Amino acid sequence: MCTVHEEQSSSSSQEGIANHQSVPELMEILTSCMENVIAKLSVAQTEALIQEILNAERIYVLGAGRSGYVAKAFAMRLTHLKLDAFVVGETVTPAFSPRDLLIAFSGSGKTLSTVEGCQKAKEIGGRLCLITAQEDSPLARLSDCIVVLDTDTTHNAEDDFAIRQLTGKHRSMTAPIAPIATLFETAALILSDATIAAIMEMKHRNIDDVERRFPNLQ
């Protein structure tokens, strides 16, 4: 993703390549950031999310951009557990009802399209759970259940160039390694998979039960 000016010589480009941190090193940094997020995660919030899922007649997921892909992956896993799960906006998604649950994924908690979908769900009378990085936001104030993934790394980012790059906070002639939302989306995916694992235990489902629900027409 780094940009290179045309006037730079081949030797300076090679020097830049030689000096950059390796992919495994950057993966270690990202893993360290994830450990910090997990350490700050509220067990009470995650338990409340699971209870909302188990109490719902049907589960709907909603998210924009990369958060939307995480939401879709979560819905897929929920269907593998024989739960009725749907993605908002898909052509086969049925009408939302007061007995249903909407789970929204939004790092900022104020993504316009997601806010509008959540407002509609609340008007209908359904329940709303939010996966977010911001405890105080328009969506947080609207939600019945919230799970906060605290991906703020500013206390580390001041002195660590690599973390500033990974979070998109570094400003230079090159583009950041990853957009600022990457930490949230990665944490949200891990949270989703861990939630599925917890529900599997609670419902006494094993891997064979899950695999029988895998699609066989692709």
Model confidence, pTM:
0.80
Helix (H) / strand (E) element for 216: namely none
Report yes or no on 216 lying in a domain: no
In a domain, 136, yes or no: yes
**Is the pLDDT confidence value at 115 over 80?**
yes
Q: From CA 163, how far away is CA 166, in angstroms rounded?
A: 5
The verdict on residue 174 lying in a domain is: no
pLDDT bin (cut points 50, 70, 90) of residue 19 is low
Query: What confidence tens digit (pLDDT) does each residue in 164-189 have?
Result: 555 555 444 344 444 445 889 999 99
Calpha distance 18→26 (Å, rounded): 15
The answer to whether residue 58 is domain-embedded is yes
Q: Does 8 score more than 60 pLDDT?
A: no
pLDDT tier, 163 (very low <50, low <70, confident <90, very high otherwise): low
CATH of the domain at 134: 3.40.50.10490
How many structural domains does the chain have? 1
Is there a domain that residue 196 lies in? yes
Domain range holding 130? 42-157+181-211
In a domain, 167, yes or no: no
Q: Are 148 and 45 in contact (CB under 8 A)?
A: yes
What pLDDT, on the 0 to 100 scale, is given for residue 175? 42
Distance CA 57, CA 95 (A): 12
Does residue 17 lie within any of the structural domains?
Answer: no
CA distance 33 to 164: 12
pLDDT in tens, 47-98: 999 999 999 999 999 999 999 999 999 999 999 999 999 999 999 999 999 9
3-state secondary structure at position 145: strand
Separation of alpha carbons 13 and 16, rounded Å:
5
Q: Is residue 166 part of a domain?
A: no
